[in-house]
Amino acid sequence: MKEHKEAGRLGNVILLIPNIEFRISPKTARGNAVNIHLLISPDDPDHVDRIENALSYLVFEGAFEDKFKCLPADLAKLGRETGGADLDQEAAIRAGANVFKIEFDVFKKWFEGQRWLRENSIVAVAAGNDGLSGLRKDDGWKAVHDKLSHFVHALFTATPSDLKFWLGKTGKKAADDILRRYGGPKPCIHGCDAHDFGRLFEPDEQRYCWIKADPTFEGLRQILFEPAERVHIGPSSPEIALSKANLISSITIADSDGWFPEATIPVNPGLVTIIGKKGSGKSALAEIVAVAAEQPPSKNDPRSFLKRAKGHLKSATATVKWADGSETKQVLQAANGFSEPRVRYLSQSFVEELCGAEDGAAKLASEIEAIVFAHLDPTERLNASNFDELRKLKVERVERRRQDIQSRIESATRVSQAIHERRLTLDDKKAQKKALEEELIALTAQVSAGATDAEAKFAEDMAALQSALAEAQAKASNVKRRIVTLDDVAGRVEAFRREAARFLNEVSVSLKAVGLGEDEIGAFRPTFAGDPERMIDARKAAFATELAGIEGEGDPPAEGTIRATSAALDLLAKRQSDDHARRTLIQTAQVRMSEIRAQAQRLDTEIGQIETGDAAALEAARQDRLEAYLEHFDSLDQEARILDELYKPVRERLSHGRGNERQLEFEIRRRVDVEAWLERGEGLVDTRKTLDFGNIKRFEDFAAFAREALAPAWEAGDRELVKTAFALLLTEIRTRPQGDGSFMKKNRTYTDFLAWLHEVQHISLNYGLVYQKTPLEKLSPGTKGIVLLILYLAMVQNERRPLIVDQPEENLDNESIFADLAAYFREAKNHRQIILITHNPNLVVNTDAEQVVVAHCERGEDGLPSMRYVSGSLENAAPDEPDIRGQVCRILEGGAEAFRKRDERYRLG
């Protein structure tokens, strides 16, 4: 075959690999020897001679202690000895090869003693009945089975159960067992095993073997390091699940005045890593690809290559060719905003800004919300354009409820304050009443002293008329007050109708949006059960009639009315007496006594209202305010449920992840800023004065109580805990005369104190990401970067645009990169193209990058750069190709010698 290919035949065959199949003992359950293969590198020009030289050391001991080398001449001798001396050469070789069966230990010792063969071979064993499966462990061959399994590099099998087993995909325990006992996981490969031309290249059940590698032996060797990712057995190639419109196939930079080569750089559809020394042009290439793919350059990024190169590259263009044949082309210095970028570009500055700046936590949270929003089912987005808009839509009714709660608290506080202010006047009112009673006694004594029968009769008549007039006036005042009350209700009815009209206008927009017609919308108009205006007018008319009767209509007015009584008083006053001065004194005294009785009656009513009615009203206001206050915590629970439902798809995706995304949680917790609340309170209270709230004497005591009793209840969010703690505080506060704001600062009132006491803005929901039980805002910049990338790589699996990431390893240690990031890049490259700029070998080698682009930069005499790029696969080490593997080792590891010295010092092997 080698000679045919060298002669120009087999043009469609790129690579021929020598495959030597051996039969070794022990026998399988069917009595056959185990099939074991050596796949040998053809790269060495002398590989045939080297193979034959190695085979000359593999010896079979025949009868009579004869020894036969594994070479054609000795195989022929062995064949004639066992099959007949008259066999021709080819038949003798066949017969000898059929007899040449050696013990596994002999084969193993021989192979390990042949350095060239060992370094240039892949050992594979059949996994079926003619191989490992034929060694029945219950027949005592378990040790040999395990030794053989550990020795080989690969398995020949296409059975699905074998694939799962040898790749360690049958459970964690099985995976650990494969690794420990068999040195796995190990690749499974398969051929057609054709014994006639009709079956050539046509394996049973279309179990074609697809290998992702350069078509070289070194490419084949990569399956040993990436057995799951590099090999696929099935009827079709495991193409990346992307449309060609989302795959960059090449980038071309033109008219750069020598800054970049006038050449096209091919781009692999998988993971492309760009490496190079500092200042070699890694980030420049990434940014140019992003701009050419319609991602606008950052105007505020100080590290932006295009920003730093402003004034140069005036005519430079970049063209991205996509796998579907389309192109996007941009003039680099004229590129501006685009409607929809075709790539997602995470520049180094962008990641640092999100993860390191003081305000980065908020921006990172916003970026995470965008990822969450993208992960939601489109039907759950409610046609919102972003997560913030969706959240507002979801919690709108909760916000309205909170506004109502705040209005109730403020209304109850105003009622309480009005009652408190009236209660502060109670002692003054009682003192006024007592003074009036004393004055009435004195006036009565004054009128009675030394009075004649006529004067006594005059005083008696005057007192009766004055009393009747006062009673009539009180009735009239009461009726007028009722009329004022009706006017107030009428005003409130009118205000309600205006508010109802506004409400209907607001909801009409929403109702029309869901398809309701005008007639249906009318059903939402708030209305009264009857006609309140007509009822108010009727009652006012009745009161007007009653008032007219009290005041006195007609001529003459009816007896007992205000007009008739006033006329009688006037007539009585005009009568003369013997002692005019005495009569005037009595008359004046009687008028004053009538006024005293009216004032005393009013004070009695007010005192009674304060002592009985106000107490009930105050308690009702307190209860209403407390209930509204507690309802705020109910609203937080309601909002938490809404947000929990919003985050549910993401949380489920994280919980079913297979890596560090399981340590990511979306947590909704209450945020209580008790110190900010106390600081606002301290701004109201004169801390030099005594509060005198029971056991709480000074503001320091108040603050301590808030921290010890209120804050834990607030944080728990349990309304009963809050109610108990708050009721305890209110009990302490009520030991001081209510409404007494003498402890307040100047120009501050007790109402201000009550309003502050019932504030709720310091108690809110804080929702966000928690990683390894630590809230996002408390993570280190490096860990924040891990979180961001995990979300981009693991969460947004429905995102198909290419992802360009510039040096994600900044601020991370090597262990974090290996443990946390490499696996996610490996997974993500299966469903989106990734271009990764890095200086960390873990993100090149351990991600099994499909393409490595090496950047180089030289500077001319004018100091301007000239950048060039070479690329290839990790396995590319051919003499006539760029030594990618060598350059990766030199640039990222410091060179082979430095790598070896580190390996010697670690002594891990």
State residue 580's pLDDT score. Answer: 63
Q: Is residue 359 part of a domain?
A: no
State residue 750's pLDDT score. Answer: 83
CATH number of 901's domain? 3.40.50.300
Q: Is residue 806 part of a domain?
A: yes
Q: Which has the closest alpha carbon to 402: 715, 764, 680?
A: 764
Backbone phi, psi, residue 33, to 5°: -75, 160
Query: Residue 78: is it exposed, middle or buried by C-beta count within 10 angstroms (0-12/13-18/19+)?
Result: buried
Range 781-793 average pLDDT:
77
**797 confidence band (pLDDT: 50, 70, 90):** low
Q: How many domains does the chain have?
A: 3
DSSP string, 587-637: HHHHHHHHHHHHHHHHHHHHHHIIIIIHHHHHHHHHHHHHHHHHHHHHHHH
Q: Which has the closest alpha carbon to 853: 344, 289, 472?
A: 289
Q: Is residue 335 part of a domain?
A: yes
Give yes or no for residue 905 having a pLDDT over 60. no
Same domain, 167 and 119: yes
Same domain, 62 and 134: yes
Range 183-192 average pLDDT:
89
Rg (CA), the chain: 48
Question: Which of these three, 234, 264, 285, is where a domain ends?
Answer: 234
Same domain, 228 and 249: no
State residue 326's pLDDT score. Answer: 94
Residue with more model confidence, 336 or 853: 853
Distance CA 523, CA 521 (A): 5
Tens of pLDDT, residues 852-878: 999 999 988 888 899 999 999 888 766
Query: Residue 326: is it exposed, middle or buried by C-beta count within 10 angstroms (0-12/13-18/19+)?
Result: exposed
Residue with more model confidence, 448 or 741: 741
Mark 125-142 as b/e (b = at least 16 C-beta within 10 Å).
bbbbebbbbbbeeeeebe
Mark 490-524 as b/e (b = at least 16 C-beta within 10 Å).
eeeeeeeeeeeeeeeeeebeebeeeebeeeeeeee
* DSSP 3-state of 561: coil
Same domain, 59 and 146: yes
Let me know: does 584 contact 470? Beta carbons within 8 Å. no
Same domain, 156 and 252: no
Backbone phi, psi, residue 889, to 5°: -65, -40
State residue 906's pLDDT score. Answer: 54
Q: What are the tokens at 339?
A: 């409607």
State residue 284's pLDDT score. Answer: 93
Give yes or no for residue 333 having a pLDDT over 60. yes
3-state secondary structure 842-876: HHHHCCCCCEEEEEEEEECCCCCEEEEEEEECCCC
**21 confidence band (pLDDT: 50, 70, 90):** very high
Give yes or no for residue 908 having a pLDDT over 60. no
Q: At what angle do helices 348-356 and 781-790 cross, to 10 degrees?
A: 120
Contacts of 257 (CB under 8 A, 6+ apart): 312, 313, 315, 316
State residue 290's pLDDT score. Answer: 92
Give yes or no for residue 463 having a pLDDT over 70. yes
Same domain, 160 and 52: yes
Tens of pLDDT, residues 742-753: 888 988 888 888
Same domain, 829 and 712: no
Distance CA 886, CA 878 (A): 11
199-203, 249-253, 321-325, 452-456: range with lowest mean pLDDT: 452-456
Across 30-39, 45-54, 900-909, the highest mean pLDDT is recorded for 45-54
**643 confidence band (pLDDT: 50, 70, 90):** confident
Q: What are the tokens at 448?
A: 């009675």
Q: Is residue 115 part of a domain?
A: yes
DSSP string, 475-499: HHHHHHHHHHHHHHHHHHHHHHHHH
Find tokens 């009203």 and name the residue: 617
Give yes or no for residue 804 having a pLDDT over 90. yes
State residue 220's pLDDT score. Answer: 94
Tell whether pTM > 0.85. Answer: no
Strand-pairing partners, residue 209, are 233
Contacts of 778 (CB under 8 A, 6+ apart): none
Range 448-474 average pLDDT:
74
Let me know: does 755 contact 413? Beta carbons within 8 Å. yes
Dihedral sign, CA of 442, 444, 448, 454? positive
Average pLDDT, the chain: 83
Let me know: does 599 contact 437? Beta carbons within 8 Å. no
Question: Which of these three, 234, 264, 279, is where a domain ends?
Answer: 234
Q: By percentage, how much of the chain surpasses pLDDT 70?
A: 89
Between the alpha carbon of residue 737 and those of residues 98, 432, 691, the distances in Å are 112, 21, 11
Give yes or no for residue 679 having a pLDDT over 90. yes
Let me know: does 729 contact 758? Beta carbons within 8 Å. no
Let me know: does 873 contact 882? Beta carbons within 8 Å. no
Same domain, 107 and 51: yes
Distance CA 584, CA 589 (A): 8
State residue 114's pLDDT score. Answer: 96
Tens of pLDDT, residues 536-554: 999 999 988 988 888 888 7
Q: By percentage, how much of the chain surpasses pLDDT 90?
A: 26
Q: What is the DSSP pairing of strand 317-322 with strand 327-331?
A: antiparallel
Across 170-179, 410-419, 671-680, the highest mean pLDDT is recorded for 671-680
Tens of pLDDT, residues 589-615: 767 777 777 787 777 777 777 777 677
Let me know: does 98 contact 86? Beta carbons within 8 Å. no
Q: Is residue 595 part of a domain?
A: no
Q: Is residue 576 part of a domain?
A: no
Tens of pLDDT, residues 123-178: 999 988 877 877 765 556 778 888 898 999 999 999 998 999 898 888 777 677 77
Residue with more model confidence, 574 or 483: 483
673-677 CB contacts, 8 Å cutoff, 24+ apart: 673/762, 674/706, 674/707, 674/710, 674/711, 674/714, 674/762, 676/762, 677/706, 677/759, 677/762
Q: What are the tokens at 237?
A: 């190639």
308-317, 349-358, 888-897: range with lowest mean pLDDT: 349-358
State residue 570's pLDDT score. Answer: 74
**89 confidence band (pLDDT: 50, 70, 90):** very high
**412 confidence band (pLDDT: 50, 70, 90):** confident
Q: Is residue 830 part of a domain?
A: yes
Q: DSSP H helical segments within 152-256, as ranges?
A: 160-166, 172-182, 217-221, 227-230
Range 204-217 average pLDDT:
91
Same domain, 151 and 197: yes
Distance CA 350, CA 342 (A): 18
Give yes or no for residue 320 having a pLDDT over 60. yes
Residue with more model confidence, 584 or 74: 74
State residue 77's pLDDT score. Answer: 93
Same domain, 109 and 186: yes
Tens of pLDDT, residues 502-543: 888 888 888 888 888 888 888 888 888 889 999 999 999 998
For the chain, the maximum distance between any two Cα atoms, rounded to a whole number of angstroms, is 183
Same domain, 201 and 275: no
Let me know: does 66 contact 45? Beta carbons within 8 Å. no
Q: What size, in residues, is the chain?
A: 909
Give yes or no for residue 377 having a pLDDT over 90. no
**582 confidence band (pLDDT: 50, 70, 90):** low
State residue 210's pLDDT score. Answer: 93
Same domain, 720 and 809: no
Q: What are the tokens at 14?
A: 């790129």
Question: Which of these three, 761, 786, 818, is where a domain ends?
Answer: 761
Q: Is residue 898 part of a domain?
A: yes
Question: Would you give the end-to-end CA distance of the chain in angstroms?
Answer: 40
Give yes or no for residue 188 having a pLDDT over 80. yes
Domain region containing 719: 674-761
Give yes or no for residue 452 having a pLDDT over 80. no
Range 240-249 average pLDDT:
81
